[in-house]
Amino acid sequence: MGDDNKPVHGYDIGLTHYGDRGFSRFLRRGFARSTGISETMLDKPIVGIAMTPSAYNNCHRFMPDLVEAVSRGVLAAGALPRPFPTISLGEVNLNPTSMMFRNLMAMDTEEMILAQPMDAVVLIGGCDKTVPAQLMGAVSAGRPFVQVVTGPMSTSRHRGTRVGACTDCRRFWGEYRGGRIDDKEIGEIETRLASTAGTCAVMGTASTMASIAEILGVALPGSAAIPAVDSMRLAMAERSGEVAVELIRKPIAPTDIVTRQSVENAFRGLMAIGGSTNAIIHLTAMAARAGIRISQTRLNAISDETPTIVNLKPVGEGYMEDLHAAGGIEGVLHELKPLLHLDTVTVEGRSLRELLETPPRWIDRNYIRSADDPVSPVGGLVTLGGSLAPNGAVFKRAAATPSLFESEGRAVVFDSLEDLALRIDDPDLDVTPADFLVLKNAGPVATGMPESGYLPIPRKLAEQGVKDMVRISDARMSGTAFGTIVLHISPEAGIGGPLAAVRNGDRIRLSVAEKRIDLLVPEEEVARRLAAFEPRPLPERGYRALFAQSVLQAEEGCDFGFLVPRESAG
Ligand code: FES
């Protein structure tokens, strides 16, 4: 029943503890037989397939087809595919916010990879938090893995206008709030925004994380932007299954792929694609799992020296299907080549240098600009410091109004999400377009850090045609959103950060040039206000209590402190 010196593979990995290894193996093989597999298959190495179908996750609607395609690749390469479920996070169906459950899914993924017998694993995710959760879990688990994404939705049409989730969702909703679209038309638009399977069609968080997986090298080259409904996606999934088997024969550990250099490449790619602010949190968390930290100073340096070259919504014009047709992320990497670390390793065992040796056959310059003719000469995102955000904040300059970059305004403060919902449309709200809207208590500890940082323009100003204002919070915002919005203020108001001290009428100064957000109130006064700070009660039981007690602040990726290797925990 086994030779102790032989490497352990397949069903012999991690036997269940019954106090008798022979019996454990006998029992496991006996029960595996009940799944209907032959002895030949029983002795094969195993590729686990972490699948995440759910009726609550429309973005994963084609999961069964992808699982079948990955399984086909695994079988053809000579291993046994074993699909297994983990929790699935459908962005718009989770209360209070999917962010609260990313770490739960990461734990689920890590523990199921480690607890079950598998030599390698293919992860299939797509919707915003699923890919970050899978990457975090798989990096910590340490087994060779390949990331497959479900792919972006295709676009649709509304009265002749091309539409796709979800930058257009926000644009149309703004028009509706401003009274320029009626009830009937907004109902029509509702049927057109998300008309196929797949993830949001623009460069939102899901598309950004798919791109980052490809740039890091944990997903196949060319895979990020293939539309969900395109047959190429199934062929790519099949090849991913095959690659997972190659990883068993010639292992590449996750930490051989996720290195300081590949993480820097990923941050650089994030800037070049005009990607989501959320990706800073997710990439920070995933890198920390591998013991890697990139400072905010380094992040800003990368942003300042990297042009934004991808012309997709919300910072530009196109959709993910256009990026795919234009040359995909490989086309972007070719353009960024002089700025990249080229000795990083991809999941197929090739270096980025080898991958980029052959020039691209076709680049559509409408969507992938050259570095000489960029959408913007600098990267899409920057981090801010200053007295209001001593540990950092994030600003998406690519999706903001340049005339507001250097501005000072009067604070109009909302103490909570409930307060915001109650008063933002009050006709008596004392607010002008030059004011700064401030939302408190929407950070990770207070509420799980929902995507509430895209504060709506107060209705009375929206009706006057006001489209943008400076908005400040400790919340996140959707990667599909746009505006002059300062996010991820840290420390958050809920734990007594300076944001907690802001009062109606205070002056605040934003300087994107200096990368600062400052509360123009004397230090002693801020200290006096904070001395009277009283935290709001936190959940006392279950996962929500664990979350509130363990979540780190945004600049540390909002991971749980106990999941981060000691040398990375800050
Ligand atoms: Fe799933 Fe946008 S809701 S990616």
* DSSP track, 225-287: TS-TTSHHHHHHHHHHHHHHHHHHHS---HHHHS-HHHHHHHHHHHHHTT--THHHHHHHHHH
Q: Is the pLDDT of residue 565 over 90?
A: yes
Question: Candidates 199, 208, 478: which one to mutate for ligand 1, based on the most atoms within 8 Å of Cβ?
Answer: 199
Q: Cα–Cα distances in Å, from 241 out to 40, 75, 122, 188, 208? A: 19, 8, 7, 40, 23
Domains contained in the chain, CATH given: 44-154+196-355 (3.40.50.2300), 156-190 (no CATH), 383-536 (3.50.30.80)
pLDDT on residue 1? 43
Question: Once rounded to an integer, what is the mean pLDDT over residues 47-73?
Answer: 98
Is the minimum distance from the CB of 206 to ligand 1 under 6 angstroms?
yes
Distance from Cα 522 to the centre of ligand 1, integer Å: 43
Task: State pTM to two decimals.
Answer: 0.96
Regarding the beta carbon of 200 and ligand 1, being less than 6 Å apart is answered: yes
Q: What is the pLDDT of residues 228-282, one digit of tens each?
A: 999 999 999 999 999 999 999 999 999 999 999 999 999 999 999 999 999 999 9
- What token pair was written down for 372? 């000489």
pLDDT digits (tens, 9 = 90+) for 101-156: 999 999 999 999 999 999 999 999 999 999 999 999 999 999 999 999 999 999 99
Q: Identify whether the C-beta of residue 430 lies closer than 8 Å to the C-beta of residue 364.
A: no
Q: Is the CB of residue 289 less than 8 Å from the CB of residue 140?
A: yes
Answer whether residue 481 shows pLDDT above 90.
no
Tell whether ligand 1 has an atom less than 6 A from the beta carbon of residue 321: no
For residue 385, the CA-to-ligand 1 centroid distance in Å is: 30
pLDDT of residue 570: 42
Distance, CA 484 to ligand 1 centroid (Å)? 23
- Ligand 1 neighbour 243 (Cβ under 6 A): no
Mean pLDDT, residues 88-113 taken together: 97
pLDDT band at 5; cut points 50, 70, 90: low
Cα–Cα distance for residue pair 224/148, rounded to 1 Å = 8
- Confidence tier at 385 by pLDDT (50, 70, 90): very high
Mutate to test the pocket of ligand 1, among 62, 99, 127, 170 (most ligand atoms within 8 A of CB): 127
Sign of CA dihedral 103, 133, 73, 218: negative
Q: Using most ligand atoms within 8 A of CB, pick from 60, 98, 200 the residue to mutate for ligand 1.
A: 200
Judge whether residue 13 has pLDDT over 80.
Answer: yes
C-alpha dihedral over 65, 71, 75, 77, to 10 degrees?
A: 100
Q: What is the strand order of the sheet 120-125 is part of?
A: 80-85, 46-51, 120-125, 145-149
Ligand 1 site, residue 404, Cβ cutoff 6 A: no
320 Cβ inside 6 Å of ligand 1: no
Measure CA 167 to chain center.
Answer: 16
- pLDDT band of residue 174 (cuts 50, 70, 90) is confident
Give the Å distance between the CA of 106 and the centre of ligand 1: 18
- Dihedral over alpha carbons 65, 70, 71, 77 (to 10 degrees): 150
How far, in Å, from the CA of 58 to the mean position of ligand 1?
8
- Model confidence at 7, pLDDT cuts 50, 70, 90, reads confident
- Cα-to-centroid distance, 198 and ligand 1 (Å): 8
Q: Whose CA is nearest to atom 2 of ligand 1?
A: 200
Distances in Å between the alpha carbon of 527 and those of 410, 472, 473, 479?
Answer: 20, 20, 20, 34
Give yes or no for residue 130 CB within 6 A of ligand 1.
no
88 Cα distance to chain centroid: 14
Percent residues over pLDDT 90 in the chain: 94
Average pLDDT, the chain: 96
Q: Is 127 in the pocket of ligand 1 (CB under 6 A)?
A: yes
Q: How far does residue 539's CA lie from ligand 1's centre (Å)?
A: 27
- Whether the CB of 59 sits within 6 Å of ligand 1: yes
According to the model, what pLDDT value does residue 568 have? 53
Pick the atom of ligand 1 nearest to 126's CA: 4
> Of all atoms in ligand 1, which is nearest to the CA of residue 199?
4
pLDDT of residue 3: 52
CA 207 to ligand 1: nearest atom: 4
Would you call 393 helix, strand, or coil by DSSP?
A: strand
Burial of 422 (0-12, 13-18, 19+ CB in 10 A): exposed
Pocket probe mutation, ligand 1, options 59, 99, 130, 319, max atoms within 8 Å of Cβ = 59
Question: Is the shortest distance between the CB of 480 and ligand 1 below 6 Å?
Answer: no
Atom 1, ligand 1: residue with shortest CA distance: 127
In the three-class reduction of DSSP (H, G, I as helix; E, B as strand; rest coil), residue 532 is classed as coil
For residue 479, the model assigns a pLDDT of 85
Provide the pLDDT for residue 2: 45
Residue at token pair 């991913």: 240
Comparing C-alpha atoms, which of 101, 16, 20, 103 is closest to residue 54?
A: 101
Q: Is the pLDDT of residue 72 over 90?
A: yes
Regarding the beta carbon of 52 and ligand 1, being less than 6 Å apart is answered no
pLDDT per residue as tens digits for the range 198-237? 999 999 999 999 999 999 999 999 999 999 999 999 999 9
Q: Which atom from ligand 1 is nearest to the alpha carbon of 478?
A: 2
The predicted pLDDT at position 178 comes to 87
* DSSP label at residue 562: G
Cis peptide bond prior to 458, omega within 30° of 0:
no
Closest atom, ligand 1, to C-alpha of 91 = 3
Does any ligand 1 atom lie closer than 6 A to the CB of residue 67?
no
Ligand 1 atom nearest to CA at 165: 2
Residue 510 and residue 515: Cα distance in Å, rounded?
8
Question: What DSSP string describes 5-19?
Answer: TSPP-GGGTT---SS
Regarding the beta carbon of 128 and ligand 1, being less than 6 Å apart is answered yes
Q: Which atom of ligand 1 is nearest to the CA of 92?
A: 3
Give the model confidence (pLDDT) of 498-552 as tens digits: 999 999 999 999 999 999 999 999 999 999 999 999 999 999 999 999 999 999 9
What pLDDT, in 10s, does the model give residues 430-462?
Answer: 999 999 999 999 999 999 999 999 999 999 999
d(CA 212, CA 202): 15
Which residue lies with its CA nearest to atom 3 of ligand 1?
91
The residue to which tokens 């600049």 are assigned: 555
